[in-house]
Amino acid sequence: MPFFDMPLEALETYRPPSPEQPNFDTFWENTLADARTHPINTQFEPFDAGTKLVDVFDMQFNGYSGQPIKAWFMLPAHASKPLPAVVEYIGYGGGRGYPYSWLKWVAAGFAYMVMDNRGQGGSGSSPGDTADYPERSESQALGFFTQGITDPQHYYYRRLYTDAARAIEAVKTHPLVDTTRIAAVGVSQGGALAIAASGLMPEDVSVCVADVPGLCDFKRVVGLTGQVPYNEISTYLQTQRDQVDTVFKTLSYVDGICFAKRSKAYAYYSTGLMDMICPPSGVYAAFNHIDGPKEIHTYAFSGHEAGGEVHQFKKIKFLSDRWN
């Protein structure tokens, strides 16, 4: 796999203009206000996962438009006082799967929640349990990147980002969560959701851990890589040739740059210089718009796995040293 993006010294100063529309804040304020007209209705049902050292709960809360979203919630067994919480978002195509796949953070002593991706879980690493409720049908490429892409009001990621913000509100309802210490974490699409949650909920998310995040700097990245899922957009535009401006206007409402610059969380990012799925220039574009405390771990000879287990160890150590 070759180096294909900017050299590191250029990435470190790469800060394209934010693509946000003039009504960006109003758009998201109205979206969240609409979601909040529905009670969060968080449910934590004990779940027998066969784990002796971890208490597992089948969790559900109301996300976009009051629609039910599934999650797993876990605590170290016999926890008796509020703990810092990690809310994890899942990569493209994946669902919440089974509890045993998500034990790393709770094993480190954190309260832990992993949110299911609405409509996903049929092609990623693990199955999902949450349906999507599209507001209308129209032409799209295979996958989720072009679902409703001609109108930001109906775009798939408006719904998923709203779910991500409501997940933060939902985890705060548990009495054993320390609401002053919440981290939003995720890899790839999950990293994008962590950035979105930290930008939409700047007073509630203390740390944003985003590994190889996608959905950042669309105008550059869509033309840079031919890999899934960005190629869904370029494939769509091969036939919908008169929709280019419309499509990129919609994407500007979900671009990670816009949320990163609004986040107040400590930013802990990673990227791989050979990552052709979520190219490093997209990651740095968002990272370089952050004005607060931040750090990025760049793995020169890594692709979409970036630091892999080495970086997972660093993340756990970072949050453990910070909060435990």
Backbone angles phi, psi at 87, to 5 degrees: -110, 115
Closest CA relative to residue 229, chosen from 133, 117, 147: 147
Confidence label for 41 from pLDDT (cuts 50, 70 and 90): very high
Active site residue 245: no
Active site residue 304: yes
Quickly list H helices, the chain: 8-11, 24-35, 104-107, 156-171, 189-200, 218-221, 230-239, 244-252, 256-260, 280-287, 308-323
Active-site position among 188, 263, 270, 302 = 188
Counting Cβ atoms within 10 Å, is residue 2 exposed (0-12), middle (13-18) or buried (19+)?
Answer: exposed
Give CA–CA dist 112/107, Å, rounded. 10
> What's residue 77's pLDDT?
97
Active-site position among 55, 116, 211, 304 = 304
Instruction: Decide if pLDDT at 309 tops 70.
Output: yes
Instruction: Decide if pLDDT at 269 tops 70.
Output: yes
HSE (side-chain half, CA atoms, 13 Å) at 145: 25
Closest CA relative to residue 158, chosen from 255, 290, 40, 242: 255
Active-site position among 275, 281, 289, 302 = 275
Which value, in Å, is the radius of gyration of the alpha carbons in the chain?
19
Active site residue 188: yes
pLDDT tens-place string over residues 50-92 = 999 999 999 999 999 999 999 999 999 999 999 999 999 999 9
